[in-house]
Structure 1
């Protein structure tokens, strides 16, 4: 197994853990903390899914893809499509959101940066060993 492929199981496990924490934050907390922690965790989840899908991506590229995806979802909220889908499906509401919020653009980066950093450090350590 190549070094980069070894990151796929870890990324899948991280995605599941992030999903659990995100749902727990949403369930057991409220207010601004729940809002912005949820946004950051959503972005962390997207980063983990990008790495799980394409484990050979360099961390900065995976971060750029995850951030672009999150920003596209956020800017999509300027249309009526996410809000109308959210009325039909709770899953659509969780994935697409409903209301554009400028601070979310920052919080997406906050959620991605730590994972990209840890990913970079783990890859550097793995390449030193091989």
Structure 2
């Protein structure tokens, strides 16, 4: 028989998901802003890094106890996988009929995008680590009071 989570457990799970969910929304906003403020290669590659960063946060929303380096590896692998999937032509076909498919899957393979996915995933790992360190320091200070 499966037990249901208690209210404090459910609340703790919700708290663990809240920060990466907010970070995901902010990442989408940053991605939209980058495209409206910058242009050319800077905007394109910043968008690639933000795409991987978004996937990093979504991994933590779905599985909040995931270690940062694992979330970064998954984000990088998914991003590279989507880029390689573009070689099949399927994303371009889907993108011709759907803006959402074009935004999520892209349309054409571009090898220079690949390192920027790693940059975004590593940025997520670093931000996640800094946030964890800040939480631990805050807890330490409030426990001493």
Give the unaligned 5+ runs of structure 1.
Answer: none
The residue number in structure 2 matching 1:96 is 105
1:43 and 1:80 map into 2 onto residues whose CA distance is 21
Superposition pairs of residues 1-130 of structure 1, within 5 angstroms: 5=13, 6-127=15-136, 129=139
Between the aligned partners of 1:31 and 1:22, the Cα distance in structure 2 is 14
Q: Note the aligned Cα RMSD (angstroms).
A: 1.9
Using structure 2 for the length normalisation, give the TM-score: 0.81
Deviation string 1:61-87 (CA, Å, 9 cap, x unpaired) is 111111111011010011110000010
Instruction: Please say which of residues 105-114 and 20-29 is displaced more in the overlay.
Output: 20-29
Which structure 2 segments of 5+ residues have no match? Answer: 1-7, 141-145
Q: Which runs of 4+ in 1 moved over 4 A?
A: none
Shift in Å at residue 125 of structure 1?
4.5
Which protein is bigger by CA-based radius of gyration?
Answer: 2
Count of paired positions: 129
Q: Which has the higher contact order (CA 8 A, sep 6+)?
A: 1
In the TM superposition, residue 124 of structure 1 has moved relative to its aligned partner by 4.0
